[in-house]
């Protein structure tokens, strides 16, 4: 697949910063029909050394960092693992939160009956923390800035759903 709708924001010898479009996987899925993804497109179109450092969900657009060699991959992965990176997301959410900002500290776990979704689970879930702030209130929806401290799958969607 071509790079047609993939914007390279920055590239140097160590890394690539890509503006991942929505409705594109970051890495290949398990099913044969989910092979098309950002990293494969980059590897097949001039960046065979590209290595994934972190992911964005299929439905999420935004900046994603890829390493271009083993040392960069190791160091960037360490930075994400040790939470030295800062991440912020802007999202449109249905509804109006009662407050203008806050934090959501609810444990999450994978929910096999609704795969690939995750749910809040106080007994078996893993710690997940998100800070949020309303940027704009627009009738039936709000534009919010979300700052995940942890990086659980589907964390932002599940946490925002938890506050309505």
- Please pick, among 57, 69, 71, 105, the residue that the annotation labels catalytic: 57
Q: What is the 8-class DSSP label of residue 79?
A: H
Q: Is 57 a catalytic residue?
A: yes
Q: Which two tokens stand for residue 98?
A: 């009662």
* Residue 15: CB atoms within 10 Å: 20
Whether residue 19 contacts residue 7, with contact meaning beta carbons closer than 8 Å, is answered with yes
Report how far residue 102's alpha carbon sits from residue 113's, in angstroms, rounded to the nearest whole number. 30
Q: What is the 8-class DSSP label of residue 127?
A: P
Report how far residue 153's alpha carbon sits from residue 45's, in angstroms, rounded to the nearest whole number. 28
The catalytic site residues sit at 57
């Amino acid at each position: 697949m071509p790079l047609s709708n993939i914007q390279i924001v920055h590239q140097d010898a160590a890394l690539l910063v890509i503006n991942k479009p929505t409705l594109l996987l970051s890495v290949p899925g398990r099913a044969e029909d989910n092979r098309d993804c950002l990293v494969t497109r980059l590897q097949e179109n001039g960046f065979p050394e590209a290595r994934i450092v972190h992911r964005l969900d299929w439905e999420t657009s935004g900046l994603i960092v890829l390493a271009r060699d083993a040392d960069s991959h190791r160091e960037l992965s360490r930075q994400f693992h040790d939470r030295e990176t800062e991440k912020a997301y802007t999202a449109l959410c249905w509804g109006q939160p009662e407050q203008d900002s806050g934090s959501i500290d609810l444990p999450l776990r994978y929910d096999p009956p609704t795969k690939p979704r995750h749910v809040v689970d106080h007994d078996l879930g893993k710690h997940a923390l998100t800070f949020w702030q309303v940027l704009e209130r627009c009738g039936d929806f709000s534009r919010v800035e979300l700052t995940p401290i942890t990086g659980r799958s589907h964390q932002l969607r599940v946490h925002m759903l938890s506050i309505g």
